[in-house]
Amino acid sequence: MAKSSARDSIKLASVDDLFTTEESRAEEQREKVLDIPLSEISDFPNHPFKVKADEAMLEMADSVKQYGVLVPGLVRPKTGGGFEMVAGHRRKKASKLAGLETMPCIVRELDDDQATIIMVDSNLQRESILPSEKAFAYKMKLEAMNRQGQRTDLTCSQVGNKLDGKKSSEILAEQMGESKNQIFRHIRLTSLLPSILEMVDEKQIAFNPAVELSYLAEKEQQELYETMQSEDCTPSLAQAQRMKKLSQDGRLSVDVIFSILTEEKPNQKEKFNIQRERIDRFFPSNFTEKQKEDLIVQLLESWYKKRQREQER
């Protein structure tokens, strides 16, 4: 009996140890919300979204000061210690402005590509996104998705879609509700000089001309920027397309850029309009528009010649 009792106790202790181990493992893996010092949270590398102390940020800071951060941020541990912000850069900025020293965050183990995709997706949900933000965000996410598709140890939905024969760009287009071509047009903006891209953000240059200008070489873009500043003008879509073509042909110089930018645009030409009701009563009812125009020009020519004769006397 003594031997049997000893065996039971040994068996029972083994089960308890196993249960405790599984419980502790689950506890370790369970995500928790921790108050982390702001000084220990670094920004995401090459974060494409601008965090400005604008009016909206000041309003957020006032809310944080009054109620605290209601939605935790998401961070991942850094190898050398501390944490890296994945989602919550604006909340971190608001916390600093509110005078807080810590911020509630969820700590999650993420590789670079997983973190990039979450960072982009969490920010693209905002109502107002600048063209430059969207351009770099699309580029970063697409590159991460492409790298994920090359791996064989992934279980994310993007890879599942890839196995169905879809490309990363097609998946991204579906997720963003845009065409694949439009995704790539946005990404083209990342080839613009920062100074020109800033003009796009400030709506001084429209999106479509900006895409065409992105094909210009860096030196050509610098000459374009300097000309735009000195002449206080920006190119239309047609002008941007011409500059792109000339650049591809190796014929775009600073003089050519100047001549294109300073030419009169069709929409800048002053138009001369006459209200129909003012002149229709002078024409027979069966006159066509062409006949009316011809008669007006004929009468003006007669008036002009008469004036010339009077001035010669």
User: Per-residue pLDDT tens for 259-277?
Assistant: 999 987 655 545 566 777 7
* Residue 1 pLDDT > 90: no
Interval 157-170 mean pLDDT: 60
Higher pLDDT, 306 or 127: 306
pTM of the entire structure?
A: 0.67
The pLDDT tens digits for 175-215 are 988 899 999 999 999 999 999 999 999 999 999 999 999 99
Predicted local confidence at residue 218, as pLDDT: 97
Predicted local confidence at residue 106, as pLDDT: 94
Interval 48-65 mean pLDDT: 90
**β-strand partners of 35:** 104
* Residue 49 pLDDT > 60: yes
Higher pLDDT, 282 or 15: 282
* Residue 64 pLDDT > 80: yes
In angstroms, rounded to a whole number, what is the distance separating the alpha carbons of residues 235 and 243?
A: 9
In angstroms, rounded to a whole number, what is the distance separating the alpha carbons of residues 204 and 202?
A: 6
CA-atom Rg of the chain in angstroms: 33
Interval 239-252 mean pLDDT: 96
Interval 148-174 mean pLDDT: 61
In angstroms, rounded to a whole number, what is the distance separating the alpha carbons of residues 142 and 188?
A: 13
Instruction: Mark 198-220 as b/e (b = at least 16 C-beta within 10 Å).
Output: ebbbeeebeeebbbbbbbbeeeb
Predicted local confidence at residue 167, as pLDDT: 87
pLDDT bin (cut points 50, 70, 90) of residue 109 is very high
**Whole-Å CA distances, 41 to 79, 84, 100, 114:** 13, 5, 13, 18
